[in-house]
């Protein structure tokens, strides 16, 4: 594998993830499949390993800006660590074409959430007490499964839930989701590794690119408008999602590279 190409994929993933507060797997997985010609399942597993480093780098950067709610992250991760393992095993059991179609639908969902993001209101009376705890626990459980299955961080689901239902500020929700993905993604990544779904040879280039990209993306997120960038990425994700949905049902299971 070409170290420079792996680094560039990691850099793009980190920049995107840091800017919009998600792990960036929705960019990394298609790039690994399309550019590196990796099998879909192995791309999911490898992405999840790399996204642990995205979470660490992004969470540290957001924390330095005071934009991380530690308790919210702990609650999210406490259920996500269990469902992430289940999601990884579910992905491993799916035929390649089903996994691709599922990922296509997921990309279109993410596109919708990205486009709606500027219009997410801050509720006047956020949830408190046990209701808030239950919301965060359920959000963690749902996103943990998606993270393990799709090879993504889950921030695209966590962030709107924290803003809409738990009343967290946007940047605090983004920072908290990045922190929560570290233990949750770690469990999913370990499960994929045990199942043989991780290409360790590209991590040497991928991880440095992700760390550098996430640092700059997370830093810029506090003082740059992301409107145009969001529209560009939404267009890319829509194109990729439709392409995945057109995967032939009769496609044979590919040998993961």
Question: pTM, whole model, 2 decimals?
Answer: 0.78
Do 102 and 142 touch, CB atoms closer than 8 A? no
The pLDDT, as a whole number, for residue 18 is: 67
Query: Alpha carbon 32 to chain centroid distance?
Result: 15
Inter-CA distances, 59 with 18, 98, 186, Å? 9, 33, 15
The pLDDT value recorded for residue 8 is 92
Closest CA to 162 of 120, 224, 202, 217: 120
Handedness of CA 120, 125, 131, 137 (dihedral sign): positive
Q: What is the pLDDT of residues 154-183, one digit of tens each?
A: 777 788 788 777 778 777 888 898 899 899
Q: What is the pLDDT of residues 215-231, one digit of tens each?
A: 787 677 666 555 666 67
> Would you say 257 and 39 are in contact if contact means Cβ atoms under 8 Å apart?
yes
How many angstroms separate the CA atoms of 44 and 3, rounded?
Answer: 19
Break the chain into its structural domains and give their ranges. 3-245
Instruction: Estimate to the nearest angstrom the gap between the alpha carbon of 37 and the chain centroid.
Output: 20
**pLDDT tens, N- to C-terminus, the chain (257 residues):** 588 899 999 898 888 766 765 667 788 888 899 888 899 899 999 998 988 887 887 788 888 888 899 999 999 999 999 999 999 999 999 888 888 899 889 888 878 877 776 666 655 456 678 888 998 999 999 989 988 998 887 777 788 788 777 778 777 888 898 899 899 989 999 999 999 999 989 998 998 998 888 778 767 766 655 566 667 667 777 887 888 888 888 654 444 44
């Amino acid at each position: 594998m070409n170290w420079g190409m792996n680094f560039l994929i990691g850099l793009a993933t980190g920049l995107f993830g840091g800017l919009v507060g998600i792990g960036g797997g929705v960019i990394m997985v298609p790039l690994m499949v399309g550019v590196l010609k990796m099998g879909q399942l192995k791309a999911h597993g490898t992405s999840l390993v790399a996204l642990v480093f995205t979470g660490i780098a992004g969470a540290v950067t957001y924390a330095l800006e005071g934009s991380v709610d530690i308790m919210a992250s702990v609650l999210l991760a406490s259920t996500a660590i269990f469902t992430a393992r289940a999601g990884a095993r579910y992905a491993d059991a799916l035929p390649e074409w089903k996994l691709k179609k599922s990922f296509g639908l997921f990309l279109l969902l993410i596109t919708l959430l990205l486009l709606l993001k500027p219009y997410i209101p801050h509720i006047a009376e956020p949830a408190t007490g046990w209701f808030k705890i239950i919301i965060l626990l359920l959000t963690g459980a749902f996103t943990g499964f998606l993270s393990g299955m799709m090879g993504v961080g889950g921030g695209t689901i966590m962030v709107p839930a924290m803003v809409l239902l738990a009343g967290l500020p946007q940047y605090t929700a983004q920072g908290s989701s990045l922190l929560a993905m570290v233990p949750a993604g770690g469990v999913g990544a370990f499960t994929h590794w045990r199942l043989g779904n991780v290409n360790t040879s590209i991590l040497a280039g991928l991880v440095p690119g992700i760390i550098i990209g996430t640092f700059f993306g997370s830093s810029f997120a506090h003082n740059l408008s992301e409107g145009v960038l969001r529209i560009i990425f939404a267009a890319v994700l829509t194109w990729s999602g439709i392409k995945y949905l057109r995967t032939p049902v009769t496609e044979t299971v590919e040998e993961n590279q």
